[in-house]
Structure formats: structure tokens, C-alpha cells
Amino acid sequence: MENILQIICDNKRKEVARQKEAVHISFLEYMTGFRKREKVSFRQALATSGSGVIAEFKRRSPSKGWIHPDADVADIVQAYEAAGAAAVSCLTDEKFFGGGFEDFKKARAAINRIPLLRKDFIVDEYQIYQSKVMGADVILLIAACLTQEETVHFAEIAHELDMEVLLEIHSEEELSYIQPIIDVVGINNRNLKTFATDIRHTIALAGKIPDTFLKISESGLSDPQTVIDLRKKGFRGFLMGENFMKTDQPGKTLSEFIRQIV
């Protein structure tokens, strides 16, 4: 069976190599000194949110194809914020998800009161400096893409740059990636190798994560009752994109969803 995650990560390393040739990392390090905006805490936003919904701006996916190719990122993320999202996630992977730096730039300019997550496949510290320059409050680190040593090192860099870290895991073997330096732990309901989803797997895995870590559930969420049930299991955040983006008015769809879960 084709390993979709491996294909994405291999492509990402090639992308980053090209980006490094165009803009040296030393310039990004220099530019972070001009990014004076104080971050909005992702962990705190989820801990105090009534809904816990992290609303994602997502144009396409490898499994479903195009979802909302012509979406206006500024309009949608502003609508998400107005609807009561705890945070916004914006994809910057172009080849597989139809996102990009321009989408993130527009999202950053459009919202300021809630945290903005850079959603991508981070495989190099170069991307962490990119994220800071772009204005991210929090970055995603996927355990399946990294070694434990890389995860800790990348998290240290993110904290030095005043960003938080969402660690994504999917298997019991990845529980060892959860270290004190991690701000939030996400369990992906979707197997990134096959893109199949299984909520039962998530619930079983969550029981093995210490309660000291704030937990979120990611991917494949569409039923309000599922979110209500997951909250009873200790989850404080719910990363959702396709359920909203497949509609004509994602913000209105989110508003109705939140009404059903709070």
C-alpha cells in the first residue's frame, strides 16, 4: 500500500531545499528580530474556550481532492473568529493541500484575537524560522515525520522564537515523543499512511497520555455528538476543516456546529 505520508515528507524536503537556495536561513534568523507581535497562546485559548474548535482553512486534501479551491481566506478566517473558533489553522502545503504562504499571510492579517496555527509537514528547522517570520503563534510537529531528537530540538527553537508547539501522534509507539517541552498533544484520527479514520483508536490512545497534557482530536470530525463524547473523555480541542470548508459559508456552518456542542 502506498505510504502517503512518506511521499508528502519526501516532497517537502525537496521543497525546503529549493527554499534554502532562494533565501538563506541566516536571513530568516535576521528577519525574526523584526517580528515583534506578541503571540496569542494556543494552549490557553483551548483551555478557556467553550467550544475548543480549531477551525481550519483547507482548500484540498490528498484523499478528497479539491474541497473549496476558490475560497477567500480572509473572509473565511474572519468568519471563523466571529463564529467562536478557539483558534484557526491554515495549511501552507501547496502540492497536496492547495495552500501556501500567501494564504497564511492573508489569514495573519485578518485575525489577531485568536491564535493562528501554521499547518504543514515540518521536516527542517528552516521551516520554524519561516513560521516565525510569517507570524505563526503555534506550529505543528508530526511525530511520524521526525525523530524524537528532532522533535525536542524543533520545539526548543519554536519556544526560543516565542511560538508554541502542537505535537501530533497517531500510534502507541509515538507516545514517547510526548515530552515536557510540548505545549499541546494532538491525536490524529486519520492514519496518515492510509488516510483512513478511526475515532475509537483515538479514545484508546488518549487514555495513555498523562492528564497534565492538554489533548486535542484531529481529522475526520463532523458529528457534534462525537465532539461532545470526546470532551467527556478529556479532549479540550477539536481540529476541523473539511466539515466547514465543503460548504458555501464555512463560518456559518461553524457557528451552527458550535451551537450544537456548547
User: How do residues 123-182 score in pLDDT, each as one tens digit?
Assistant: 999 999 999 999 999 999 999 999 999 999 999 999 999 999 999 999 999 999 999 999
pLDDT of 192 reads 67
Which of 237, 192, 239 lies closest to 91, judged by CA? Answer: 239
Task: Give residue 2's pLDDT.
Answer: 64
> By percentage, how much of the chain surpasses pLDDT 90?
87
Q: How far is CA 146 from CA 22, 121, 232, in A?
A: 24, 10, 31
| Range list of H helices, the chain | 4-22, 25-32, 42-48, 73-83, 101-110, 126-134, 148-160, 199-206, 224-232, 242-245, 250-261
pLDDT tens digits for 45-60? Answer: 999 999 999 999 999 9
Segment 85-132, tens digit of pLDDT: 999 999 999 999 999 999 999 999 999 999 999 999 999 999 999 999
Which pLDDT belongs to residue 1?
Answer: 46
Predicted pLDDT at 201: 82
Domain count of the fold of the chain: 1
- The pLDDT, as a whole number, for residue 237 is 97
> Above pLDDT 70, what percent of the chain?
98
Reply yes or no on whether the pLDDT at 194 is more than 80: no
The boundaries of the domain holding residue 112 are: 4-261
CATH number, position 26: 3.20.20.70
Mean pLDDT along residues 252-261: 98
Report the predicted TM-score, pTM, of the whole model to 2 decimal places. 0.95
